[in-house]
Amino acid sequence: MRRISQRISGIAESATLAVDAKAKALRAAGRPVIGFGAGEPDFPTPDHIVEAAAEACRDPRNHKYTPAGGQPALREAIAHASAQPIDAGQVIVTNGGKQAVYQAFATLLDPGDEVLIPAPYWTTYPEAVRLAGGVPVDVVTDESTGYRVGVEQLEAARTARTRVLVMCSPSNPTGAVYSREQLAEIGGWAAENDLMVVTDEIYQHLVYGDAEFHSMPVVVPELADRTLVLSGVSKTFAMTGWRVGWMYGPRDLIGAALNLQSHLTSNVCNIAQAAALAAVTGDLSAVARMREAFDRRRRTIVEMLNAIPGVVCPEPQGAFYVYPSVKGLLRGRTSAELATFILDEAEVAVVPGEAFGTPGYLRFSYALSDADLVEGITRIQKLVPTMGG
């Protein structure tokens, strides 16, 4: 007798969470593990946000449900902060960006609908697409284009069943940031072909050097009526544990997604919403300080990784990940086996490219202390000559 549905048994555990859990378990057992696995800032949530939550907690009005779509003030603040002329009714506050991802696909897809996902992709997209009955179609990029997809590649992957294009810039896992021109080209193509767009902007505040963040439906305004924008406070404000994300877009889609959320999870924790309101409306100087630290670590890790023979690490422009090719290091191993080897031998946790649809790479999150970063990469540098081949 079947005990688990086919739909659910087809879903793999999140590889990034799995690596992080293994690293945390080893650390709890007293091992000096250095974790490049988690997409989680090492900083505490800024004080003014924590204070807002503490205050909200003492107000009994905040001990109740909020509207399913979120506290009106928070929805308003998100609408106001967006680069599009939207109102609060076009925003839903979700339990982290992750819930917004699932809800977006559940709202858009019918069985068999195809979703173009530029790879390397964040590991949750294809699973969320499948869970919603859709068919993920990988459009694979590599370091030669800085992991950015082009219209020709997308066009080659498009079929009569293609319904949705997913964009994530700045990208997890590569840190790639699309320029305005690239977004204009891709967005124009999506509009011409009647595609819906899901664009994940959760790293929008984390861009470095000359790179600039642009939102696709702002660059291509005719897309606004066919785009769901996803974001949240986790990465920008070091608030991964608070679980506040959001989605916004055209009213019909948002209304349908809200109906789903009203049955799925109701509202996000009221206190966490108060914290998110303080984050979204507050001073960004703490964010600027974190960004500065990430930028410094980014430059250090790129330099250190490129100094390892067999590793090619393009310089990312956003988020807090690097995604080097380690094809020159594999020596008969897969990148998944290499990641396990590095964890076992050097006690350094990294996530293999298999998790992001492109074997032969490793993802390093540089959201860890400068000292740990240097120690972790030094351990890998020392391990390489012992790797055999």
Q: Which of 232, 249, 357, 360 binds ligand PMP (CB under 6 A)?
A: 232
Amino acid at 310: G
326: nearest Cα among 377, 263, 284, 270: 377
DSSP state of 91: E
As a whole number of angstroms, the distance between CA 333 and CA 347 comes to 18
As a whole number of angstroms, the distance between CA 204 and CA 209 comes to 14
- CB half-sphere exposure, 110, CA atoms < 13 A: 3
Choices 135-143, 153-161, 232-240, 371-379; region in contact with ligand PMP by CB under 6 A: 232-240
Q: Are 243 and 268 contacting, i.e. CB atoms less than 8 angstroms apart?
A: yes
* Residues within window 121-150 making contact with ligand PMP, judged by CB under 6 A: 122
Of 234 and 270, nearer to ligand PMP (C-beta) is 234
Of 14 and 281, nearer to ligand PMP (C-beta) is 14
Of 191 and 204, nearer to ligand PMP (C-beta) is 204
* Antiparallel, parallel or unpaired: β 114-119 and 196-200: unpaired
* Residues within window 306-365 making contact with ligand PMP, judged by CB under 6 A: none
Q: Which of 35, 39, 175, 352 binds ligand PMP (CB under 6 A)?
A: 39
Calculate the CA 124 to chain-centre distance. 9
Shortest gap between Cβ of 380 and ligand PMP (angstroms)? 23
Of 224 and 244, nearer to ligand PMP (C-beta) is 244
Q: Are 232 and 202 contacting, i.e. CB atoms less than 8 angstroms apart?
A: yes
Of 264 and 387, nearer to ligand PMP (C-beta) is 264
Of 95 and 304, nearer to ligand PMP (C-beta) is 95
Q: Does 238 bind ligand PMP (CB under 6 A)?
A: no
CA dist 237 → 242, 268, 295, 313, 359 (Å): 10, 17, 16, 27, 31
Q: Does 168 bind ligand PMP (CB under 6 A)?
A: yes
281: phi > 0 → left, psi -120 to 50 → alpha, else beta; which?
alpha
Of 122 and 364, nearer to ligand PMP (C-beta) is 122
Q: Does 234 bind ligand PMP (CB under 6 A)?
A: yes
Q: Does 35 bind ligand PMP (CB under 6 A)?
A: no
* Residues within window 81-110 making contact with ligand PMP, judged by CB under 6 A: 96-98
Q: Does 376 bind ligand PMP (CB under 6 A)?
A: no
Cis amide leading into 173 (omega within 30): yes
Q: Does 240 bind ligand PMP (CB under 6 A)?
A: yes
41: nearest Cα among 232, 212, 230, 179: 232
* Residues within window 188-217 making contact with ligand PMP, judged by CB under 6 A: 200, 202
Of 196 and 238, nearer to ligand PMP (C-beta) is 238
Q: Which stretches of the chain bind ligand PMP, using CB under 6 A?
A: 39, 96-98, 122, 168, 172, 200, 202, 232, 234, 240, 245
